[in-house]
Chains A and B, each alone.
Chain A
Amino acid sequence: MEPAAIHEELKSRFGDAVMEFREGNGDPFIVVNGSHLLEIAAYLKEAQGLHFDSLMCLSSVDYGENYAVVYHLYSMQHKRRVVLKVYVEKADPRITSVQSVWKAANWHEREAYDLMGIRFEGHPDLSRILLPEDWPGHPLRKDYVFPEEYDGIPCHRE
């Protein structure tokens, strides 16, 4: 099943929670609504003919006006892939954790939280994974302001 057909199937099942399907220069992707993410994820994993049992990558993007979380899924059985994208608000970036569906999401979500500040609700331990625990802010945000110093060490950046 091609990504376009998967989009059709999801659309018929979840209605408005599944938004547009886009093809561009990179991988084609399906935009879904964050409020129904968990059901859609579980369906993609379990449903006959889909079986997207592997979360290859979970990443986050800062588009300026909002953030996005991107899920690259792979089906070991059918040897095919699909990309989901969820847009989240800039003011209060929150999204459901898919950790209960794909265990691999655990550390990926912590990384996205650490570097982009996206809160994954329902995550068992949403703490920083790379940076020190007391680091100020989330450095991969486009509007990140570097601290003057950290732990007595100057952090000057040009």
Chain B
Amino acid sequence: MRKMINEMPGNVLFTTVDQFLNWGRFSSLWYLLFALACCGIELMQAGGPRTDLDRFGAMFRATPRQSDLMIVAGTLTYKMASRLKLLYHQMPEPKYVISMGSCANCGGLFQLGYSVVEGVDLIIPVDVYVPGCPPRPEALAEGIIKLQELIKKEKYLVKDN
């Protein structure tokens, strides 16, 4: 074994397939350019130079077909709900959802209104909830890091019993 390693050319790394796949996934979390209300302003800010989500490999895509992550930023209304579902289903697997702000988490201060859905998790599965009204860009960055930690623990190569 040692002989084999010594005979290899330079720059060779050993890893497991799972780790390698996850490394690729958590380092390129492309998120959908999609915002519903005031939280969207903070989402844009989080993409700007101060918080700079790009440094985590997260950058926005203008189409769900190229996105891995949906950040639901803002108040979801019943009218928008079917569009949100459609966008989510247009994203290729594996896909993740961050619910950003009180409105997306539970309806927020509009939850008793006649038009507001009490949380996006009634419609699509959510991986990370970011609290706040609105959450600061730092909080959203923290949410992305939390999601990256989740992705690092994922296992794809399991025996199918």
Residues of A within 8 A of B (CB): 130-132, 135, 139-140, 144, 146, 150-151, 153-158
Please tell me if the beta carbons of A153 and B115 are within 8 angstroms of each other in the complex.
no
- Across the interface, which residues of B come within 8 angstroms of A132, CB to CB? 78-79
For the complex of A and B, 9 pairs with smallest distance between CB atoms: A139-B114, A132-B79, A150-B78, A153-B122, A153-B81, A153-B117, A157-B112, A151-B82, A153-B123
The 11 sampled A-B contact pairs (Cβ below 8 Å) are A130-B79, A130-B115, A132-B78, A132-B79, A139-B115, A153-B123, A154-B118, A155-B78, A157-B112, A157-B114, A158-B112
Residue with the highest number of chain B CB atoms closer than 10 Å, among A132, A139, A156:
A132
Contact residues of A: prevailing secondary structure: loop
Interface size in chain B (residues, C-beta < 8 A): 11
Tell me if B118 and A156 are in contact (CB < 8 A). Answer: yes
| Extra contacts besides A131-B79, A153-B78 (10): CB < 8 Å | A132-B78, A132-B79, A135-B78, A139-B114, A139-B115, A140-B114, A146-B114, A151-B81, A154-B122, A156-B118
Query: CA separation between A151 and B79, bound complex, in Å?
Result: 10
Chain B residues within 8 Å of A146, by CB: 114
State the CA gap A79–B143 with chains docked (Å).
Answer: 54
Closest to A128 in B: B79
Interface 1/0 per residue, B99-129 and A, CB below 8 Å: 0000000000000101101100011000000
Give, as a whole number of angstroms, the nearest-CB distance from B84 to chain A: 11
Contacts of A156 in B (CB 8 A): 118
* Smallest CB separation, A125 vs chain B (Å): 18
Within 8 A of A (CB), among B62-79: 78-79
Q: Taking the nearest CB of chain B, how far is it from the CB of A131, in angstroms?
A: 7
Residue of B nearest to A157 (CB): B112
Distance in angstroms from B119 CB to nearest chain A CB is 10
Task: Name the A residues within 8 Å of B112 (CB-CB).
Answer: 157-158
